[in-house]
């Protein structure tokens, strides 16, 4: 499951991801992180059977948690298969098929929104 974690200035100084991993024995994959001295935000992937345990530990340390939905959805009727989304996607969730049509592997999406911002026909929507 994908989670968006938000940290404040007090929490940013604590190794909360390490603590959560050690306390729950869960594997936590950091997909995206933006952290500075005052705040931070991460998108992490946690194995489904450990999500609740990890959330409990993180909440104890003041981390705001949001479970993320399906990510990007493509409207086939609007897509012109230009490939802009392919060029900006950091995890290669988009590719051309054998007919040079853009296909989406939504399971790879990390909710960055780059593809949505560059889509000229507004064929992509990010669900969180």
Q: Does the pLDDT of residue 71 top 90, yes or no?
A: no
Measure the CA–CA gap between 113 and 82, rounded to whole angstroms: 17
pLDDT of 110? 86
Between these two residues, 1 and 69, which has the higher pLDDT value? 1
Closest CA to 1 of 56, 63, 43: 43
Conformation bin of residue 81: beta by default, left when phi > 0, alpha when psi is -120 to 50: left
**Segments in 1-128 forming alpha helices (H):** 16-24, 51-60, 84-88, 114-118
Band (101; pLDDT cuts 50, 70, 90): very high
Residue range(s) in the chain whose domain bears CATH number 3.30.70.20: 71-127
Dihedral (CA of 24, 25, 27, 28) sign = positive
Chain centroid offset of residue 74 CA: 17
Measure the CA–CA gap between 21 and 56, rounded to whole angstroms: 12
Q: Does the pLDDT of residue 127 top 80, yes or no?
A: no
Residue range(s) in the chain whose domain bears CATH number 3.30.70.260: 2-67
The fold of the 71-127 domain, in CATH, is Alpha-Beta Plaits (3.30.70)
CB 74 within 8 A of CB 122: no
The fold of the 2-67 domain, in CATH, is Alpha-Beta Plaits (3.30.70)
Measure the CA–CA gap between 73 and 104, rounded to whole angstroms: 8
Measure the CA–CA gap between 88 and 120, rounded to whole angstroms: 13
How do residues 16-43 score in pLDDT, each as one tens digit?
999 999 999 999 999 889 988 889 999 9
The pTM assigned to this predicted structure is: 0.71
What is the mean pLDDT of the segment spanning 63-71?
88
Q: Does the pLDDT of residue 128 top 80, yes or no?
A: no
pLDDT of 10? 86
pLDDT of 108? 86
What is the mean pLDDT of the segment spanning 83-89?
96
């Amino acid at each position: 499951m994908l989670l968006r974690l938000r940290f404040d200035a007090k929490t940013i100084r604590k190794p909360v991801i390490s603590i959560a991993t050690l306390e729950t024995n869960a594997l936590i994959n950091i997909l995206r992180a933006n952290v500075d001295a005052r705040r931070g935000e991460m998108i992490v992937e946690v194995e489904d059977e450990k999500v609740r345990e990890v959330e409990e530990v993180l909440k104890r340390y003041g981390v705001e948690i949001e479970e993320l939905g399906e990510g990007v959805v493509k409207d086939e009727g609007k897509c012109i298969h230009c490939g802009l989304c392919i060029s900006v996607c950091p995890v290669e969730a988009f590719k051309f098929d054998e007919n040079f049509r853009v296909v989406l592997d939504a399971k790879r999406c990390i909710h960055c929104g780059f593809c949505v911002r560059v889509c000229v026909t507004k064929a992509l929507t990010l669900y969180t």
